[in-house]
A = this chain, B = another copy of it.
Amino acid sequence: MIIGLVQKLKNDFEIDFKRPELLDEAFTHASYVNEHPKEHLKYYERIEFLGDAVMQLCVSEYLYRRYPGMSEGKLSRLRAAMVCEDSFSKFAKECNFDEYIRLGKGEEKANARQRPALLCDIFEAFIGALYQDQGKKAVEEFIAKVVFPKLDLGWFDHLLDHKTELQELLQEKGEVTITYDEVADLGPEHDKMYTMAVSADGKVLGTGSGHSKKEAEQVAANAALKSLK
């Protein structure tokens, strides 16, 4: 069994694994299995196959509900940015999953333990193990701690239209007039910095600055969203 992992999941995420052998499978690379032929170990690829699909659905469902007015195209782009090697490898590192991977000696020497592709695989494999052990709700609770907060931390802001999101949120409770007003434009002509304020029925909800009015409006809308949530 992989030492310390069960306890770590309990401490960090209050996850109590019933079948730790699923974790062994999820954190074992093929190179390790090949070096230990007598142990009849499983490596993570099959369980990763499952975990990948679980992540696709959980993230899709979350985005679908969180952004009720977002177009399919935007939802797809946002999902693609969240469900990808770059993001998953960062989540795996954040959870210190890299410390628990069982690797063959050759791969270890080649520093595979820090390779984003492997870290991404391990993250998906862990999700597959958690799903099999405790079902979809447990996965949702885990990614509510590890994945979804990144939306509020701005990881995917380049894909989000905060103005639309704010409009949808405010108009859920009926008609409201949203206005964006210039508060200031500072700096020289070639490098101007604009500050915009967003108001709902005349009440200022947030301000933001940027090198264009458009950018400043997005920052203001995001500030308003944060203050409202």
Binary contact readout A121-147 vs B (1 if CB under 8 angstroms, 0 otherwise): 000000000000000100000000000
Is B45 in contact with A64, judged by CB distance below 8 angstroms? no
Name the B residues within 8 Å of A49 (CB-CB). Answer: 60, 64, 72, 75-76
Chain A stretch 20-68: residues in CB contact (< 8 A) with chain B: 45-46, 48-50, 52-54, 56-57, 59-61, 64
Residue of B nearest to A70 (CB): B46
Is B72 in contact with A61, judged by CB distance below 8 angstroms? no
> Which residue from B50, B57, B59, B70 sits with its C-beta under 8 Å from A54?
B57
Count of A residues near B, CB < 8 Å? 20
> Which residue from B50, B60, B70, B75 sits with its C-beta under 8 Å from A61?
B50
A interface, over-half SS: helix
Whether A11 is near chain B, meaning CB under 8 Å from some CB there, is no
One complex includes copies of this chain to the number of 2
- With A and B bound together, what is the CA distance between A136 and B136 in angstroms? 10
Chain A stretch 52-100: residues in CB contact (< 8 A) with chain B: 52-54, 56-57, 59-61, 64, 70-72, 75-76
Within the complex, the shortest CB–CB distance from A174 to chain B, in Å, comes to 15
Is B76 in contact with A64, judged by CB distance below 8 angstroms? no
Given known pairs A56-B56, A57-B56, the reply for A50 and B71 (CB within 8 Å) is no
Is A61 in contact with B71, judged by CB distance below 8 angstroms? no
- With A and B bound together, what is the CA distance between A136 and B60 in angstroms? 14
- With A and B bound together, what is the CA distance between A102 and B201 in angstroms? 38
- With A and B bound together, what is the CA distance between A45 and B70 in angstroms? 11
- With A and B bound together, what is the CA distance between A81 and B45 in angstroms? 19
Name the B residues within 8 Å of A46 (CB-CB). Answer: 64, 70-72, 75
Residue of B nearest to A43 (CB): B72
Residue of B nearest to A48 (CB): B72
Further contacts, 11 of them, CB under 8 A, given A46-B71, A50-B60: A45-B72, A46-B72, A49-B64, A49-B72, A49-B76, A50-B64, A52-B60, A53-B57, A53-B59, A56-B57, A57-B57
